[in-house]
A and B are shown apart, each in its own frame.
Chain A
Amino acid sequence: MDTVVARFEIRCRRFLGPDGVPLGDLPGFARDPAVLVELYRGMVRTRALDQKAVALQRTGRLGTYASSLGQEAVVVGLAAAMRPEDVLLPSFREQGAQLWRGVTMREVLLYWGGDERGSDFAASRHDFPVCVPVGGQAPHAAGVALAFRLRGEPRAAVCVFGDGATSKGDVAEALVFAGVWALPAVFVVNNNQWAISVPRSAQTAAETLAQKAIAAGIAALQVDGNDVVAVRDAVEEALARARTGGGATLIEALTYRLSDHTTADDARRYRDDAEVSRHWREEPLPRLRNYLTSLGAWSREQEEALLEACRAEVEAAEAAYLATPPQDPATMFEHTFAALPADLVRQKAEALGGRT
């Protein structure tokens, strides 16, 4: 005879509907319009940087770039929930979170422009750099979280990856580690529905990505990833639990990749314009703007001033990026090891044509 030995449910959190109308009471932080304005500003800045980066790539002044168009609420919401001493372990679409944590637009452009110094950012120096091998940073988050646990520090690791990454063993193993040791880690899935050309439906037969947490014995939650209030609230709750010994959480943020995968991709090869158009109606910026407007906390003048300020910031960053002198080729050698082994001394001399 079979008996039921386990049951689970996955909840989805959402505060603001697509039109910006609240679906119920908002969490405490969201009752202060100034806080919401900051979140809005963070998302607009992110979009402004993305637009500039794509333009720079199209004109041959930046390398391949992964835009976060439409996913700004995920990255800004999670970053806003973090404390400075927490550690962010991003994938490659979290520029908005990096900006929120103090990484400069110039540094982001420098990285995507092909210069390692972009990952030697001046702020938040304990954060990890962009991770291109999908999901590879997830076990690092377990290690960072274990370090906090061992030192008894009330800090947490926040790891972000896409829907495709949830199919990877790296992520599964990281969740297992986070579970058995109740690690102070929060894993956020930026479920933008597409892993390059593979839709979410072809990624896994599981009903939700959040439920992958259940098998690892950690908390699971789905949020509307276009609702920055819901993302921030969910991550804040998970971080509070992590800091107080309550263990790790996997949060699946439902959003949509309105852009191509990267500037090297053409999404029209594999998805319908109609689908994309539909998702433009759900995107995060108007949602929060409409809500702020309904509160009387946002005006057309403020909107124009913000756009102008972002334009000026982006242009200043562009100028600073383009004016950054190239790295000395010697740096290629100097950071391979803490001290140069004899082989690299020779190779460096050869590369530099005798200059040392």
Chain B
Amino acid sequence: MTERNLVQAVNAALARAMAEDPSVLVIGEDVGADGGVFRATEGLLARFGKDRVIDTPLAEVGIAGLAVGLAAQGFRPVAEIQFTGFLYATLDQVLNHAARLRTRTRGRLTCPLVIRSPSGGGVRAPEHHSESPEAIFAHVPGLRVVVPSSPARAFGLLLAAIRDPDPVLFLEPTRLYRATREELDDDTPPLPLDRAFVLREGTDATLVAWGGMVPEALAAADALARDGVSCEVIDLATLKPLDEETILASVARTGRLVIVQEAPLTAGYGAEVAARVAERGLMSLRAPIRRVAGWDTVMPLPRLERDYLPNAMRIAAALRETMAFA
């Protein structure tokens, strides 16, 4: 067993996938000698060589398009986009090409690629480095969207994403890269790409979160526990496809739902979760659904970051309001 933080778990999953399958390639800016700006690809060049760990020119559209071409030819490229702010340029390639190639050719050509990108705020990063774009990508048919929140889930989900026959966007919460360490074996099996994780069982309210908001949700649940309120905490982890059943089963028990997202409120992924529960779980609800989210503002520069990001305190306040609803 080796103790690993989240970025080390990503690195270990990449190494394992590459060792198991010679068609797995790592491509991106600074992924080679530099080992990636967050060190997610550290050591891979030395171990697998420059034909499998490929430093690209500084061109995100090109990286995404290159991955489409490689994938259609039977490789399994794992492309790193250095920061979320630079991920948007790939949207055209992801939406118009990667996610549609299977459908457009009726399965003749497919796109088994992964795009990895650090995501979210909380690390006092420069401008354009802290956004949470998951909802934009979750709206794309044919694309899976995965957001891990622990080293073990990062490892298992990335392994599964690389093995998956379809394109996956894998958003790694930057603030969790080095937040915690977990014992993690190299032969840990992959995790399913369509299951949410119940991290904490509870009976009074359901908290749904993903990515960098999961530790905040757990902290809020701790705070409420001191008041005698038992919160169930679900890490969505695979946003697309959504594990609706786990959420509905939880809400059926608790009757109360608070959804936490770091991204701006309006048209965020939390709205999708709320709509699903409204459609299929409304009769279980004993209080209106609450969303705790980033504001509908531009992500501020680091000095105001804390005023933007949802935190345990805001989540706890929402939970208390939900609990107070008669």
Contacts and interface: CB of A to CB of B under 8 A. Distances in A.
Interface of A: 87, 116-117, 119-121, 125-126, 128-129, 133, 136-148, 150, 157, 169-170, 173-174, 176-177, 180, 331-332, 335-338, 341-344
Given A120-B106, A170-B61, A342-B245, A146 B70 contact: yes
Given A150-B75, A336-B142, A140 B59 contact: no
A120 B110 CA distance: 12
Contact of A173 (B59, B68, B103): B59
A139 B57 contact: no
Contacts of B51: 150
Contact of A139 (B64, B74, B164): B64
A335 B69 CA distance: 19
B166 interface: yes
A147 B74 contact: yes
Interface stretch (B91-99, B208-216, B294-302): B91-99
A139 B62 contact: yes
Contact of A136 (B56, B65, B108): B65
A119 B142 contact: no
- Residue of B70, B71, B75, B92 with most partner-chain A CB within 10 A: B70
Contacts of A117: 106
Given A139-B69, A335-B102, 15 more contacts: A116-B103, A120-B107, A137-B97, A139-B68, A140-B68, A140-B72, A141-B69, A143-B66, A143-B69, A146-B69, A147-B69, A147-B74, A150-B51, A157-B69, A177-B56
B67 interface: yes
A341 B72 contact: no
Interface string B30-57: 0000000000000000000001001011
A337 B142 contact: yes
30 contacts: A116-B103, A116-B104, A120-B107, A120-B108, A128-B109, A129-B109, A133-B96, A133-B97, A136-B97, A139-B62, A140-B68, A142-B66, A143-B65, A143-B66, A143-B67, A143-B69, A143-B73, A147-B69, A147-B75, A150-B75, A170-B61, A173-B59, A174-B65, A176-B62, A177-B62, A180-B57, A332-B103, A337-B165, A342-B241, A344-B241
Interface of B: 25, 51, 54, 56-57, 59, 61-62, 64-75, 77, 92-93, 96-97, 101-110, 141-142, 144, 164-166, 194, 241-242, 244-245
B69 A338 contact: no
- The prevalent SS among residues of A at the interface is helix
A336 B97 contact: no
Contact of B61 (A137, A139, A145): A139
A128 B75 CA distance: 16
B57 A129 contact: no
Contacts of A344: 241
A336 B66 contact: no
A312 to B, nearest CB: 29
A147 B51 CA distance: 10
Nearest to B167: A337
A335 B107 contact: yes
A140 B102 contact: no
Given A129-B105, A176-B57, A140 B96 contact: no
Given A129-B109, A146-B66, A169-B61, A140 B97 contact: yes
Contacts of B244: 342-343
Contacts of A150: 25, 51, 75
Contacts of B74: 147
A173 B68 CA distance: 14
A173 B72 contact: no
B116 to A, nearest CB: 17
A157 B142 CA distance: 26
User: When A and B form their complex, which 4 residue pairs have the shortest distance between CB atoms, in order from nearest?
Assistant: A143-B69, A139-B65, A173-B62, A147-B73
Contacts of A121: 108
Contacts of A137: 97
Nearest to B60: A173
Contacts of B64: 139
Contacts of A343: 241-242, 244
